[in-house]
Structure formats: C-alpha cells, structure tokens
C-alpha cells in the first residue's frame, strides 16, 4: 500500500549521517552470510528513511481502548495507523493485556503489521509499565511485592530476582521494553504518586536496588527504563493532575535525586523516562497561560534533558517522555507544541502525545506529524537532531535483538508454548512469596501483642477499606496451619471508607469490635490528606484502637501502602508494614474477581500476624512526626525493634 502522506511530498529534506561507517570487511564472519555491524546497519537504514518514517520512530501512542472497548485483539484500523505512520512503538496498558494467550497473540499481531510492510521492516518497541507491586499491567503472571517492599528486605539480590522475573515474563509475551524501574527517591511523605513505587528515601539504597532490578530486566533481553528523571520523589503534586515544582539547585540534585540515575547510567541502562516537573533553578524559561505562570516542565526543558542528563551525567541512550497527555503537559500546551518542545529539548520518543480511541482521532496524529514536519522545514527543528534520536532508537532495537538482519520467524504457536512455561510459573510464584515475606516489617509490638494466638472459639475481626482486602485476609486466615478447616476461630469482617461515621455513631462496627478478641486493622494511605483527623482513614482505625485498648483486646495496624500512617496511629499496640494492598482477589464472596488486584503482600502480612512468618524487614523510608496535620521536617517518629517483643 502507498503509505507516503501527501503533506510530505513537498519536503525535499536530506538525511544527515551521524554514525561513523564501519566497513563490512571488518565484520566477524560466521557460518552463513556476514554480519553487518550495528553502526553500519543503522547508518544504511537512516539513509533510506523519509522524514515521516523518522518521526514515526519517535512517536509512541497507546491504543488501550478502541471504539469504546478494551483493545485486546488487533483492530484493523489500529493496524492501519501503525502502518500509515510507520510508528516506532506502542505502549500497552491493563486494558490490553488480560491473559497470557491473548497478550501473546496481540503482541505477535502488532509485530506482524511491520512484517507485512514492504517499505518498513523495523519492528516495534512494545512497551509496558510492569513495575511490580501496585503498578502492574499484566492480567496474568507474577505481580511481585513492589519496590518499597524490596527495599525493606535490604537484600538487593531480591531486586535483581524481581527484575529477572519481570524481564523473562515480558520477553515470553513479546514485550521488549519495560518502563521500570522507578529510581525516584521518596523523601517527601506527602508525595501522592510515588510512595511505595520507590525503593526508599535513601538515594544510596534506591541506586543499589534500582540498578539491580534494571540489570535483572536487561539480562533477559528486555530494555529497562529508569524513571522519572530528574526525580519525582520530593513532590507533593501528582503530575497526572498538575505540575509539581522541585525548587532545588543542581548541587542539591547531585546530592540526592540524581545519584540513582547516575549509577544506572554508569552501568548502561537502556532508557530513561522524564518527569513532568518544574525545576525553576535549572530551567529559567517560564510558561504563561490562563492558569498562571509556571516553570517549563523538565520533559520540555533543554537545560534539564540536554544540559543535565546528556551533559552533566553523560547519558547517550534513549530518552522517552512520561505520558504527554498527563495534565502537567496537556493543560498548558497543544499536542503538537508539546511534541516539538520535547524534541527540541533532546528527548527521543514522545510517549502518548495524543489520545487515540477511534478512527476519528487519527486526525490529531496527522496534525502532530504535520506540525513537526513544518518545524523542520522552517528551521525550528533540525533534521540532524531527529537523526540523532532515530540513530539511538535503531541502535537500541538492534542491540536488544528487536531489529535483526532477518525477520523473526518464530511462529505464534511456539510463542504461546514458551509464554505458558514462563509467565506466572511456580518458580516465579515461590520467589514472589519469599520476597513478600522477607519484606514484612514490625516497627511496634507493645506487650507482646504479636503474634496472635487465638484459642478455639475466639473471634478475629478483620477491618480494612476494601472488600477484596478483607476477603483475601479471611482466606489466608482459614488456610493457616493452626486453623485449617476454620474449626477453631470465628472470623468476622468489616470495611470502611471516606463516608464511614465515627465509632460512637456506628453501632454495627462498635458491636463487632466489642465481640472481637483479636483485631486486624488494614490502613491504605496513599496521600497525606488521609492522615488528617477529619479523614475517616484516620479516625476509624484510631477510634477502633482506642476502644480495643480500653477493653483489653489485642489489635494490630496492618499498613497496606505508604508507611506514614504509623506516625499517626500511635494507639495501635502493634504496627506491621507490608507495603502493598494486594492479595488473593478471589476469596470468599469476593466482589473483586479481578486478577489485577492479586498480589503477595496481604497473605505475607497475615502469616506474620499469626506467627507463621518472622518479620525481617527494616523500614526503608524516614517517617517524620505528624503534628497538627503537618509533617515535621526536623523531627522523626521513633520506632523500636518490634521483634524484641515478639511473643514466641
């Protein structure tokens, strides 16, 4: 088919060669035809590419929904978009990857679009955010306990093993780029978007564990991506919904945020993803809009990308933006302008520059291409700059075996067989459980509250925000060795939400607390607003602990997410941290029934509460005191070694 877009015919632009030519005679000759060195192959490819094809390599959209439905099998219209624009990659989301067979076939079909394209034989980057823990996309497979849980183990071999599991499962499915690991240092307890996605508030630990995970991913032949440069950890705004500001000097960044990225760069991380954060001490350009005046986001900043990342840190690999349709960007720039400014800044791939949900949306992609081409034509963008980016993209595709001298001939049936053997294997699940249990952290255990030792006929109350959480905990309690058959203990459940009344106005919950001998209170805090006394996420657990203490009942705070709740729930006689709210979503009467809510954290916590797992984790973040609704920068909450009071 003729894919050359009409509006490219008028551009008589030449391609600049930026990679030194390596003579074919220098190639190592093995059996069969000689292998052309990667540099020369990239060079030859660049010479033959049109400007549209080059720009296509730099654009990476998502097709998570199409015509109102989850895009789980390749729609013909989507195939035509990939073919027409010679796209270099796509990103998959949970809506795309429901099961092993389905995902394998979808990825296979995506790459088949390129195979059938006579004018373009460069396979796609097929990418995904498979961080582990609370950010997992795959519907099946190994979920892992998450980065902060890994940080709590203090064992970087677990981080490598997690990366190896992620890499091997993605590769088996045909996904060749992972947008992870997160190298943000979560040193701001008010951070609403990173939290347990970070390994630690210690940049040294983040660098060590992040590098180990990246190596585990890349050792499986999948490209790893360090994110979110130059660091999204010290922010109090989620860039999905606004523009965070990090008002730090370069010297301050060198001493904290940049350290993990420098370590990853030194050891050869394949990609780096940008953060949509304002850095007024690094980039002095400001943006004026009807929303006010604010610093140019780092993603669009040449001072941050070319100056700090390329110049200061010496990074020569592929740079990809965070999603450009996030509000920190989309609220303040047109789609085409955002793409042009990212390319001006030195970024190689514009991720999700527009929302494509139907054929009617394709005109938006056309506009982006048209305006980028016009920016080249009028001299705002140089084609040499574009060539530099495409050269980096093609080099990585070649080095990772994505773009070979011959097309991949592996059949779909062979791919399916391999995927079934690897994705969610028993070996991976066993390692997942081991990591989750090693992460369980006991920071408080007054009067030997833990482990719980119920007697026959005792009642255990399980209280948590979500029903799938309590379902999972109940299922695990029933499976405990000392309670097999559920003949010994009565287990009752309750859930609470933002609208749950205070305990004195909640007779049903008060009756349950009064009837219980042992109480487990799950706390799922993902922002500082939930720590305020006016929030049900604060006062429900607090009032339950107060009542339980007065009545002489044993109770434990089970922290399911960001561990800063331990600073405010001081009445909890025991505090146990598991750094993740996922468990078995198919427990008794569960309303979830969603494999994406599955994970190893909740079972690990329950096993520890009842003494079947010894808590070994160490708190990986500093927890400031929380006074009058505000975290105290200079004061930190004091936590003892809870295990010293373990009731063996």
CB-facing half-sphere around the CA of 607: CA atoms within 13 A: 21
Distance (Å, rounded) from C-alpha 104 to C-alpha 527?
A: 36
Distance (Å, rounded) from C-alpha 227 to C-alpha 351?
A: 13
Residue 409's Cβ-count burial label (10 Å; 0-12, 13-18, 19+) is exposed
Q: For residue 89, what are the CA distances in angstroms to 2, 86, 113, 341?
A: 21, 9, 12, 20
From the list 86, 322, 348, 387, the catalytic residue is 322
Tell me, what DSSP letter sits at residue 518? E
From the list 109, 219, 240, 571, the catalytic residue is 240
3-state SS assignment for residue 557: strand
Question: Cis ω on the peptide bond leading into residue 451 (within 30° of 0)?
Answer: yes
- Of 153, 45, 90, 79, nearest to 390 by C-alpha is 45
Buried b / exposed e over 349-378, threshold 16 CB at 10 Å, is bbbbbbbbeeeeebeebeebbebbbebbee
Q: Which residues does 30 contact at the CB level (< 8 Å), separation at least 6?
A: none
Distance (Å, rounded) from C-alpha 402 to C-alpha 517?
A: 58
* DSSP run (H or E) holding 630: strand 630-636
Tell me, what DSSP letter sits at residue 305? I
- Cβ(583)–Cβ(601) below 8 Å: yes
Residue 519's Cβ-count burial label (10 Å; 0-12, 13-18, 19+) is buried
Buried b / exposed e over 45-82, threshold 16 CB at 10 Å, is bbeebbbbbbbbbbbbbbbbbbeeeebbebbeebbebb
Distance (Å, rounded) from C-alpha 145 to C-alpha 366?
A: 41
Distance (Å, rounded) from C-alpha 473 to C-alpha 558?
A: 11
Q: Could you please report the per-residue DSSP string of 582-596?
A: -B-TTSTT-S---GG
Distance (Å, rounded) from C-alpha 614 to C-alpha 326?
A: 42
284 catalytic? Reply is no
Cα 397 to the center of its chain, rounded Å: 22
Distance (Å, rounded) from C-alpha 230 to C-alpha 254?
A: 10
Quote the radius of gyration of the chain (alpha carbons, Å): 26
Dihedral of CA 179/185/191/196: which sign? positive
Residue 420's Cβ-count burial label (10 Å; 0-12, 13-18, 19+) is middle
Q: What does the block give as tokens for 490?
A: 């009565």
Pairing of strands 630-636, 223-229: unpaired
420 catalytic? Reply is no
Q: Could you please report the per-residue DSSP string of 38-75?
A: HHHHHHHHHHH--HHHHHHHTEE-B-SEETTEE--S--
Q: Could you give the residue numbers annotated as active site?
A: 240, 322
């Amino acid at each position: 088919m003729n894919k050359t877009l009409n509006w490219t015919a008028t551009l008589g632009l030449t391609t600049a060669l930026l990679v030194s030519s390596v003579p074919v005679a220098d190639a190592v000759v093995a059996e069969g035809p000689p292998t052309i060195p990667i540099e020369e192959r990239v060079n030859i490819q660049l010479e033959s590419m049109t400007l549209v094809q080059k720009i296509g390599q730099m654009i990476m959209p998502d097709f998570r929904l199409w015509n109102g439905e989850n895009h789980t099998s390749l729609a013909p219209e989507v195939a035509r978009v990939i073919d027409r624009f010679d796209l270099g990659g796509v990103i998959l989301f949970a809506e795309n990857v429901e099961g092993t067979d389905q995902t394998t076939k979808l990825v296979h079909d995506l790459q088949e679009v390129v195979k059938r394209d006579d004018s373009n034989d460069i396979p796609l980057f097929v990418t995904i955010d498979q961080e582990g823990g609370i950010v997992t996309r795959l519907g099946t497979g190994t979920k892992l306990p998450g980065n902060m849980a890994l940080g709590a183990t203090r064992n970087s071999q677990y981080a490598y093993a997690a990366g190896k599991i992620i890499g091997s499962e993605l590769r088996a499915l045909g996904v060749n780029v992972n947008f992870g690991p997160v190298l943000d240092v979560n040193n701001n307890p008010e951070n609403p978007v990173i939290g347990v996605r970070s390994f630690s508030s210690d940049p040294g630990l983040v660098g060590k564990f992040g590098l180990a995970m990246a190596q585990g991913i890349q050792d499986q032949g999948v490209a790893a991506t360090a994110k979110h440069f130059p660091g999204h950890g010290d922010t109090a705004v989620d860039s999905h919904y606004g523009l965070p500001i990090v008002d730090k000097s370069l010297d301050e960044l060198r001493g904290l945020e940049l350290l993990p990225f420098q370590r990853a760069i030194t050891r050869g991380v394949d990609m780096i993803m940008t953060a949509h954060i304002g850095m007024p001490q690094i980039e002095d350009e400001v943006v004026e809009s009807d929303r006010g005046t604010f610093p140019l986001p780092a993603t669009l900043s040449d001072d941050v990308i070319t100056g700090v990342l390329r110049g200061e840190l010496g990074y020569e690999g592929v740079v990809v933006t965070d999603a450009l349709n996030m509000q920190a960007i989309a609220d303040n720039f047109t789609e085409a302008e955002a793409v042009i400014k990212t390319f001006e800044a030195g970024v190689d791939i514009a991720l999700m520059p527009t929302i494509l949900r139907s054929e009617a949306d394709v005109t938006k992609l056309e506009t982006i291409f048209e305006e980028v081409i016009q920016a080249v034509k009028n001299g705002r963008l140089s084609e040499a700059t574009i060539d530099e980016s495409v050269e980096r993209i093609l080099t990585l595709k070649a080095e990772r075996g994505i773009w070979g001298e011959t097309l991949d001939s592996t059949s779909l049936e062979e791919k399916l067989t391999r995927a079934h053997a690897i994705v969610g294997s028993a070996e991976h699940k066993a390692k997942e459980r081991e990591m989750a249990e090693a992460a369980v952290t006991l920071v408080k255990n007054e009067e030997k509250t833990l482990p719980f030792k119920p007697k026959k006929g005792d009642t255990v109350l399980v209280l948590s925000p979500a029903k799938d959480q309590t379902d999972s905990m109940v299922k695990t309690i029933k499976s405990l060795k000392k309670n097999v058959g559920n003949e010994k203990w009565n287990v009752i459940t309750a859930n609470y939400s933002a609208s749950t009344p205070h305990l004195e106005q909640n007779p049903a919950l008060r009756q349950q607390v009064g009837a219980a001998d042992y109480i487990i209170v799950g706390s799922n805090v993902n922002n500082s607003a939930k720590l305020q006394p006016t929030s049900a996420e604060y006062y429900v657990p607090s009032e339950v602990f107060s009542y339980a203490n007065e009545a002489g009942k044993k109770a434990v705070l089970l922290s399911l997410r960001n561990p800063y709740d331990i600073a405010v729930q001081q009445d909890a006689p025991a505090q146990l941290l598991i750094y993740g709210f996922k468990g078995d979503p198919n427990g008794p009467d569960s309303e979830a029934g969603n494999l994406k809510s599955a994970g190893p954290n909740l079972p690990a916590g329950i096993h520890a509460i009842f003494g079947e797992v010894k808590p070994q984790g160490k708190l990986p973040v500093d927890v400031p005191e929380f006074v009058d609704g505000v975290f105290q920068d200079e004061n930190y909450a004091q936590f003892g070694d809870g295990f010293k009071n373990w009731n063996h």
